[in-house]
Amino acid sequence: MRLRSGLGRGVAGLAALCLLLELVPRVGLVSPRYLPPFSQIVGELADQAGQASFWTALLDTLRGWALGLLIAVVAGTVLGILIGSAAPLRAATGSTIEFLRPIPSVALVPLAVLLFGTDIRSKLLLVVYASFWQVLIQVLYGVQDVDPVARETARSYGLGAWAQVRHVTWPTTLPYLMTGVRLAATVALVLAITAELVIGNPGLGREIAVAQSSGAVAAMYALVLVAGLVGVAVNVLARVVERRVLFWHTSVRGEAPA
Amino acid sequence: MTVAARLARRALVTLGLPLVLVAVWWVASANSESFYLPPLRRILETFADVWLSARLADDVLPSLLRLAVGYLAAVALGVAVGVPVGASRALRDVVEPVLEFFRAIPPTVMVPILILVAGIGDTMKVLVIVFGCIWPVLLNTVEGVRAIDPVLDETARCYGIRGAARLRHLVLRGASPQIVTGMRQSLSIGIILMVISEMFASSNGLGFTIIQFQRGFAIPEMWSGIILLGLVGVLLSLVFRAMEGRVLAWYHSLRRSHRDGGAA
Amino acid sequence: MLDVRGIHKVYEGRGRTVEAIRELTFTIGGGELVCLVGPSGCGKTTLLKCVAGLLAPTAGEVRLQGQVVTAPPPGMAVVFQEYGRSLFPWMTIRGNVELPLKQKRIASGRREELVDQALAAVGLDDVHAAYPWQLSGGMQQRVAIARAIAYEPQVLLMDEPFAAVDAQTRADLEDLLRGVWRRFGVTILFVTHDIDEAVYLGQRVLVLSSSPTVIMEDLAIDLPAERDQLNTRSAPRFAELRAHVYGLVQQAKQGHQAPARIPRV
């Protein structure tokens, strides 16, 4: 019952927001030139949904997001496990990672434009660079969290490096990796859309820029709404995947050699 | 091992790989004929010419100032709104889905919207940064306030710690680890928005200058700009880390003691 | 000093009502050390929270020196069971003890005096600059007690404060409490589930029935004023009193509300 009342209140909140967005421009508090009424935005969205170009743009965004995320996760996991498992490697690369990590990926925009133009590779450059660090850092935490007793036990049983990774390192690292994937998924979406916005790769971001420059205000807001919904979907998906994988993981963990 | 030897070893470990990488870059690009990847030597030569000039005051400073104003305003607003929302279950239930939706909107799409409303001047850029940076701070503040230990809350009530004192000693200090987490996320978002708002439409600033170089094919200058932007990112991160170390010193020591087994 | 009249507490849940406390009436005179004992779940903590002004009773009232308690009054201090969670982790020990005094707007010179005195009284002169999580459980609870003492309350309420520490530390803290009580003359209402502790510490023991709670008996403890762990606990009178209380609590667990046929001691 508590969940229901919480849910009910949440829905009420969202409904209130929609109502506000409808009334504020109609009443004239904000000029409808700058903020069209909510119903108009929704109507425009419905129109957009009927056009193939909208769906192509959406798919372009999602393709860039998914591909970039995949590359970042694989690279981050592999490098994270490699570096994390060897103390001297960790020590040697520590300062480099701490230096490269805070470099804003958007600094690479001009380079990406020069090298790849509006080809998907320029988008991928930004997405992969930003998402990679999220995954790497989390995997490094995870590998460091491995119980040294467990590791010693595995080694004393003659488990080779690969077996050690599989039975000792991986189960401990998995929750951290899932956190990293969740963070990376959000960052990847932001960078994908940013690349489209500023470089002009095909996708939602470019459509928004085009709508803005051609004065199609309602269409612009409709696309922003879509971007928000995609963001919410990515969050929800990431959490669902995380829960699923870790559910499996905890039951397997019970059987892994201590 | 003597102190000097230990220091030398630490320096070697910390600076080793970076120096190697820079050296490799230098040597590999030394005789570069490639238009897009000029020799590192040239880039560094142009660095001083380009940035240690009037540009520092005309472009770099305004960018950083806009970031500072926008970021601090976002933090202040985020905490100011987050505290009452976190304290009230009813408010939280109503408002959280709305806040989560706004947070999920990729912040850079606010740039075209705000250009429409506020033009391409300073106001737009500061507003963009505020709009993008407020959500992580707000939502983390809500979470931090919500999770304050009820026993601590009752203790404060018992001893008559109410109002402003309660806010200061219990609520803000108690939620500070979460708030700082939000501030960290907001900082990276702020830097992205600072750069993008200037690349998209502007007449001055760090991002604007770099993209101008790229459009004018002034490649070494462009590279020097990229390096500068990287340095700005690193510097801000260091400043943030220092601030965090001071404000959350108690929290870091507490977690460390728990990790190491804790007091009996 | 403390006047508890007709406390009645009912919890309204989703479709269920639980009568936690039916009727509790008792008085505590100035300077007394009274222990409250009862079976688990009999509402001891609920009662303490009502007395402290943290919880509003459904009916009845609590008076501190004639004034009705509606919110935590400045004349009362509480020591909770969860010592670790009642100390502010971002403040030093000294900061923790001093904070309530700052709230009371006590001048800084007097504040220092009170803090020094309180910390010395609990035997923690040398940890002023430490942080709570650097101390052991027993020491943390002593800080909580020091904080309560420094506050100079008229009444000190203690909610099973020694339940979460080990037996040896508990013995030390019990003696510490009696020492502090006699030195500062503060009135103490001490809630516990440990019968031995209640008899050892108190001048009176109030035995509570199980829910819906009433007072089964108000027992006077006529042990000597000078008590120590070894001799007092092996005294025959101690055993008698203890057995009497134990019998009452057993009856309470079986659902009785008034003492039935237990020989008077």
Which residue in chain A is spatially nearest to B227 when comparing CA positions?
Answer: A107
Return d(Cα A58, Cα A192) in angstroms, integer: 11
pLDDT of C260 reads 52
Among the partner-chain residues C52, C72, C131, the one whose CB lies closest to the CB of B253 is C131
Which residue in chain C is spatially nearest to B175 when comparing CA positions?
Answer: C90
Q: Look-up: residue for tokens 């500070």?
A: B176
Return d(Cα B72, Cα A9) in angstroms, integer: 31
Which residue in chain C is spatially nearest to B164 when comparing CA positions?
Answer: C103
Return d(Cα A211, Cα A216) in angstroms, integer: 5
Ranges of residues in chain A whose predicted pLDDT is under 70: 1-5, 249-258
pLDDT of A1 reads 46
Mean pLDDT of chain B: 89
Does C64 fall in a domain? yes
Residue B146 contacts C, CB cutoff 8 Å: no
* Average pLDDT value for residue range C186-203: 91
A74 vs B33 pLDDT, higher one: A74
Restricting to B residues 227-256, those with a Cβ less than 8 Å away from any Cβ of A are 229-230, 233-234, 236-237
C184: Cβ contacts below 8 Å, ≥ 6 apart: C121, C149
Among the partner-chain residues B95, B97, B101, the one whose CB lies closest to the CB of A228 is B101
Q: Which domains does chain B possess?
A: 37-248 (1.10.3720.10)
Q: Are B233 and A102 inside 8 Å of each other by CB?
A: yes
Res. B117: pLDDT tops 90 = no
Which among B148, B155, B179 is the top mutation candidate for probing chain C, defined by the most C β-carbons within 10 Å of its own β-carbon?
B155
The structural domain count of chain C equals 1
Q: How many CB pairs under 8 A join A and B?
A: 158
C18 backbone dihedrals φ, ψ, rounded to 5°: -115, 120
* Average pLDDT value for residue range B192-207: 89
DSSP A156-200: HTT--HHHHIIIIIHHHHHHHHHHHHHHHHHHHHHHHHHHHHHT-
* Average pLDDT value for residue range B15-42: 84
Q: Are C78 and B155 inside 8 Å of each other by CB?
A: yes
Which among A19, A190, A232 is the top mutation candidate for probing chain B, defined by the most B β-carbons within 10 Å of its own β-carbon?
A190
pLDDT of A3 reads 56
Among the partner-chain residues B94, B107, B116, the one whose CB lies closest to the CB of A34 is B116
Distance from CA of B187 to the nearest CA of C (A): 25
Residue B100 contacts C, CB cutoff 8 Å: no
Does C258 fall in a domain? no
Which residue in chain B is spatially nearest to C55 when comparing CA positions?
Answer: B154
Q: Are C99 and B155 inside 8 Å of each other by CB?
A: no
The sign of the CA dihedral B144, B236, B240, A192 is: positive
Query: Could you give the C-alpha distances from A173 to A143, A148, A256, in angstroms and in order?
Result: 6, 14, 14
pLDDT of C256 reads 63
Q: Are A102 and B188 inside 8 Å of each other by CB?
A: yes
Structure token pair of residue A196? 């489209």
How far, in whole angstroms, is CA C85 from its chain's centroid?
Answer: 17
Band of pLDDT at residue C98, cut at 50, 70 and 90: very high
Q: Are A220 and B192 inside 8 Å of each other by CB?
A: no
Residue A12 contacts B, CB cutoff 8 Å: yes
pLDDT of A256 reads 34
Distance from CA of A209 to the nearest CA of B (A): 6
Does C53 fall in a domain? yes
pLDDT of B264 reads 40
Q: Look-up: residue for tokens 């007097």?
A: C110
- How many CB atoms are closer than 10 A to CB A10? 18
Q: Are B106 and A189 inside 8 Å of each other by CB?
A: yes
8 Å CB contact between B38 and B226: no
Distance from CA of A249 to the nearest CA of B (A): 23
C157 backbone dihedrals φ, ψ, rounded to 5°: -105, 130
Task: Please list every residue in chain A whose beta carbon sits closer than 8 Å to the beta carbon of residue B207.
Answer: 106
- Neighbours, chain C (3 or more CB pairs < 8 A): B
Strand C33-37 with C187-192, pairing: parallel
Among the partner-chain residues B151, B170, B263, the one whose CB lies closest to the CB of C80 is B151
Task: Please list every residue in chain B whose beta carbon sits closer than 8 Å to the beta carbon of residue C69.
Answer: none
CATH number at residue C10: 3.40.50.300
Q: Look-up: residue for tokens 């803000």?
A: B172
Minimum mean pLDDT range among B163-172, C17-26, C141-150: C17-26
pLDDT of C145 reads 92
Bridge partners of C157, per DSSP, are: C78, C189
Q: Are A110 and B107 inside 8 Å of each other by CB?
A: no
Residues in chain A: 258
Is the predicted ipTM greater than 0.95, yes or no? no
pLDDT of A258 reads 37
pLDDT of C254 reads 77
Q: Which amino acid is at A40?
A: Q
Q: How many CB pairs under 8 A join B and C?
A: 69
Restricting to B residues 26-85, those with a Cβ less than 8 Å away from any Cβ of A are 36
How far, in whole angstroms, is CA C137 from its chain's centroid?
Answer: 18
Q: Which amino acid is at A231?
A: G
Spell out a b/e string for A68-101, using b for 16 or more CB atoms within 10 Å of the CB, else e: bbebbbeebbebbbebbbeeeeeebbeebbbbbb
pLDDT of C253 reads 79
The sign of the CA dihedral B201, B207, B212, B215 is: negative
Q: Are B105 and A227 inside 8 Å of each other by CB?
A: yes
Q: Are C134 and B262 inside 8 Å of each other by CB?
A: no
pLDDT of B262 reads 45
Q: Which CATH class is domain A36-253?
A: mainly alpha
Which among C124, C133, C142, C151 is the top mutation candidate for probing chain B, defined by the most B β-carbons within 10 Å of its own β-carbon?
C133
Return d(Cα B151, Cα B141) in angstroms, integer: 20
Among the partner-chain residues B155, B170, B257, the one whose CB lies closest to the CB of C133 is B257
Distance from CA of A91 to the nearest CA of B (A): 7
Considering only CA atoms, which of A198, A199, A169, A193 is closest in space to residue A83? A169
Among the partner-chain residues C77, C91, C134, the one whose CB lies closest to the CB of B263 is C134
Bridge partners of C33, per DSSP, are: C188
First to last CA, chain C: 27
Task: Please list every residue in chain C whose beta carbon sits closer than 8 Å to the beta carbon of residue B169.
Answer: 88, 91, 99
- C16: domain range? 2-75+153-253
DSSP A67-83: HHHHHHHHHHHHHHHHH
Residue B247 contacts C, CB cutoff 8 Å: no
pLDDT tens sequence across B134-186: 999 999 999 999 999 999 999 999 998 888 999 999 999 999 999 999 999 99
Considering only CA atoms, which of A231, A229, A16 is closest in space to residue B93? A16
pLDDT tens sequence across C169-183: 889 899 999 988 888
User: Percent of chain C at pLDDT above 90?
Assistant: 31
Task: Please list every residue in chain B whose beta carbon sits closer than 8 Å to the beta carbon of residue C137.
Answer: 263-264
**Four-point Cα dihedral C205, C210, C216, C220, nearest 10:** -10
Mean pLDDT of chain C: 87
Which residue in chain A is spatially nearest to B194 when comparing CA positions?
Answer: A106
pLDDT of C75 reads 86
Task: Please list every residue in chain B whose beta carbon sits closer than 8 Å to the beta carbon of residue A6.
Answer: 93
pLDDT of B64 reads 93
Which residue in chain C is spatially nearest to B148 when comparing CA positions?
Answer: C85
Does C134 fall in a domain? no
* DSSP label at residue C257: S
